[in-house]
Chains A and B, each alone.
Chain A
């Protein structure tokens, strides 16, 4: 911990701050603000009530108006202070609002719920305190089938990632370690597909998926993404660096090609495979366009699609939308936090070596 602190507070100037310290710390502070500002805003907003979200100008922390339960009223009533300047006899007192219409409000005293008094709404001052609207989250589970969406997203991400790693590493093995006629052509074709935007192949892909009966099935999302040119290329570049002599040694050791793949190539490519796994998890989890096209029934929705469905044409359920966005972010952030060190080392070693 002491190391972390001394690292974070390291300065170039000894004793006093060098001008480069000012520049770098300012730069870092701006960077942190740009990176984390939106995320923090999102998290705080997800704890705001719908009323608070609609408020302008917006406030940083979530506030909620105080309410009180009184005999004779079914719902909790909002509590106000009547301003001192009011001409009403209630000036300065705390009241509960029972009704409000056309600029006039009907209130009762907290200790006298039966006597209703009318006064101008402008006289009422809201009593507010910081309060986290956790019901945004709980109602995700009550009103929406959140767990179902979570399962769909997880299933697609895990299966597609595993499938992709398998297919891509086998292709990369063949393209890096076997001499065969047309190898360069195949590689160029694979890389060439990188240049075709997904939107161009969207319609043909959709037709194929429909023909294969995978429309509205999770497999329709998983299978088309099983082989990616980026993955094949990334793994191939790494596998090229594995010396051929090791494979020859394994062949002399009577290992089958299949065994060479599993026992030699895969363990030795682990850093590159880890990188690709992280990328694949992020791609699949955040994928939106293709699932939107293939999955139309609500029970098949992924989290991303569910988020989208909160945004209606006439009104948007911002409270639920924000809460689910936060929940959607969490797994991917966790994965990234645990595996990010592999990205750095993996990418560094997949370059030239």
Chain B
């Protein structure tokens, strides 16, 4: 039997949520197209799980609209929104077998027995949990529980899947496996999925679109590489990409707008075009660790404090003369030792520039 999943888009229009006087979601606008895999990412406490629960209907909204398909669902209870959710703790029913866990939702909508059986068989075969149907959740491993939790969502044929940090309880290796499986599931079902995580690697690898949230506000929404290559502000620049982007504060020369004087006194060249920096402006220069190369004529002088050799990659951690910390990522192995001074250089095209005051990017937006 083929699972026939109707797929619809989800729109948030100025969605708000407050608890008493505390506003935790401060008016978010988002348009998730049908079939998209959208990831909400942000540091803990940014409101990403709350936003997901608002979409699910488990958390009532305080303002704005939530549209699923072409229907405003503000007042429609969670059960009737046609969504399915996978929880961080899996939230399997501990007293029921895997089969009962899967069938519970279908029984509640009075699906005929034979049809339930058929759907469970299809889903459990797809997720390779058909051997586990008679077991209880406590007898399953973390990965198996995760599959059952996903199966419970799939079997109801929802219009939209919601995942609330589903991999955070798994060990690193299993997490990579499950990441691949969820991506494969998305390709196979072609369904809209909204996925919450605090792990930007998960976001980068799985998403069609990423929404970066901070303190209840949407910082940027776009495709993973778009966010990586063109972060709108310092926060997104620092959050997306691992290891973190390096930030150097400085002032643009009053006469030459391609010359930047860093707080260390060192001077670096900026690209002539592409950024709208003004002469004399305080800016923050962003440069990704992999764009920094040791070079004899390097403008930056890094005092190396720690070296990590991973074999195929190496990382240098150190600081400039004013204490600004820098991370350098080199492919291959390095001969640099702790305590050495390394001159660093970078291509002018690789830099990101942000206004230090507003934290917004100075890149010319096309």
A contacts, CB < 8 Å to B: 243, 245-246, 248-256, 259, 263-264, 267-268
Contacts and interface: CB of A to CB of B under 8 A. Distances in A.
B228 interface: no
Contact of A255 (B84, B92, B95, B104): B104
A253 B88 contact: no
Interface in B44-63: 56, 58
Contact of A268 (B95, B105, B156): B95
Interface string B79-103: 1100111011101111100000000
Interface of B: 56, 58, 77-80, 83-85, 87-89, 91-95, 104-105, 108-109, 152, 156
Given A249-B87, A256-B108, 15 more contacts: A243-B89, A245-B87, A246-B92, A246-B94, A248-B85, A252-B79, A252-B83, A253-B104, A253-B152, A253-B156, A254-B109, A255-B79, A255-B104, A259-B108, A267-B95
A268 B80 CA distance: 26
8 contacts: A243-B91, A249-B87, A249-B91, A251-B58, A252-B56, A254-B108, A255-B104, A259-B108
A249 B104 CA distance: 10
Given A248-B58, A268-B94, A253 B105 contact: yes
A255 B56 contact: no
Nearest to B78: A251
A280 B268 CA distance: 81
Contacts of A256: 108
B216 to A, nearest CB: 21
Most buried by B among A246, A256, A259, A268: A246
Nearest to A247: B91
Given A255-B108, A263-B104, A250 B93 contact: yes
A174 B234 CA distance: 46
A245 B108 contact: no
Nearest to B100: A263
B112 to A, nearest CB: 16
Contacts of B156: 253
Given A254-B79, A267-B95, A249 B85 contact: yes
Nearest to B104: A253
A267 B101 CA distance: 14
Contacts of A250: 93, 104
A233 to B, nearest CB: 23
Contacts of B56: 252
A226 B28 CA distance: 50
Contacts of B152: 249, 253
A252 B88 contact: no
**6 closest Cβ contacts across the A-B interface?**
A253-B105, A245-B91, A249-B91, A254-B79, A254-B108, A267-B95
Nearest to A268: B95
A252 B53 CA distance: 11
A264 to B, nearest CB: 6
Most buried by B among A245, A259, A264: A245
Contacts of A245: 87-89, 91
B92 to A, nearest CB: 8
Contacts of B78: 248, 251-252
